[in-house]
Amino acid sequence: MKRVLTCTVIALVGFAVQAGSVAAVAQEQMKVTSTSQGAAEATKSGIADGASSPDEMGNRRPLYRLRKSDVIEIKFNFASEFDQTLSVQPDGFIALRDMDELYAEGLTVAELRGAVRQAYATTLHEPEVTINLKEFEKPYFMATGAVARPGKYELRGDATVTEGVALAGGFTEQAKHSEVVLFRRISEERTEARVLNVKQMLKAHNLAEDFHLRAGDLLYVPQNVISKIRRYLPTSSLSTYVNPTQF
């Protein structure tokens, strides 16, 4: 009986490790593809000059960009009759008073101010414009997998990956600290994934890869190998063959 149990454990562990290797290779290919496509994406029209590369996982937090349903207040310093409060429509446009519609989704406040000034330059002489965000979606990130409290969290300040995990209640006993995955949406069609070894990062006191979270980021903490096979065999049997501290 003991020999049969040993063979079963070895087979299950081998299967789990093989599956993990395949997943790791797939994640690595995803990163290479995202990196190679990022340069081409940055050259497309619609990305502001001077903006950081869209696939960049650096620490710099980008400026807020307008989204659908955001409410903005436009004020003209010396022509208050043109003051207006507008909402970004489902198609991404705003309906300027006495002007053609202007595409606003994806613009920063500074970029929109420049576009509004240019639009009204045909009517006003060097218009001075102030734009305020009245209502907007609060930035958030998601934490899923082997964390104590999976869910959606408001992104406040310069939160990092490790701080995001802490906000979600920290790792569970089943968490695989060495393969925390950070998913970041680059465009409507592409999402970039980065695998972070948080265990090694904290052990070496090297926080260079403790990336700052951005709005819409998703943190996924996978389970370790032991947790995956524990559902099939009793823990007392596993302890004879596997040392869980290595995961």
Q: What is the pLDDT of residue 35?
A: 40
User: In DSSP terms, which residues pair with 84 in a beta bridge?
Assistant: 74
Query: Are 211 and 183 a contacting pair, CB within 8 Å?
Result: no
Q: List the chain domain ranges.
A: 2-40+139-238, 71-135
CATH architecture of 2-40+139-238: Roll (3.10)
What length does the chain have?
247
Residue 193 has which token pair? 């994934």
Q: One-letter amino acid identity for 56?
A: E
CA distance linking residue 195 with residue 175, whole number of Å: 14
Query: Are 193 and 181 a contacting pair, CB within 8 Å?
Result: yes
Q: What is the pLDDT of residue 244?
A: 44
Among candidates 245, 195, 247, which has minimal Cα distance to 220? 195
CATH code of the domain made up of 71-135: 3.30.1950.10
Q: What is the pLDDT of residue 224?
A: 86
Residues 37-80 pLDDT 10s: 443 333 333 333 333 444 455 555 668 889 999 999 999 999 99
Residues 140-164 pLDDT 10s: 999 999 999 999 999 887 899 999 9
Higher pLDDT, residue 221 or 209: 221
- Domains 2-40+139-238 and 71-135 are alike in CATH topology: no
Higher pLDDT, residue 93 or 30: 93
Higher pLDDT, residue 59 or 23: 59
CA distance linking residue 142 with residue 181, whole number of Å: 12
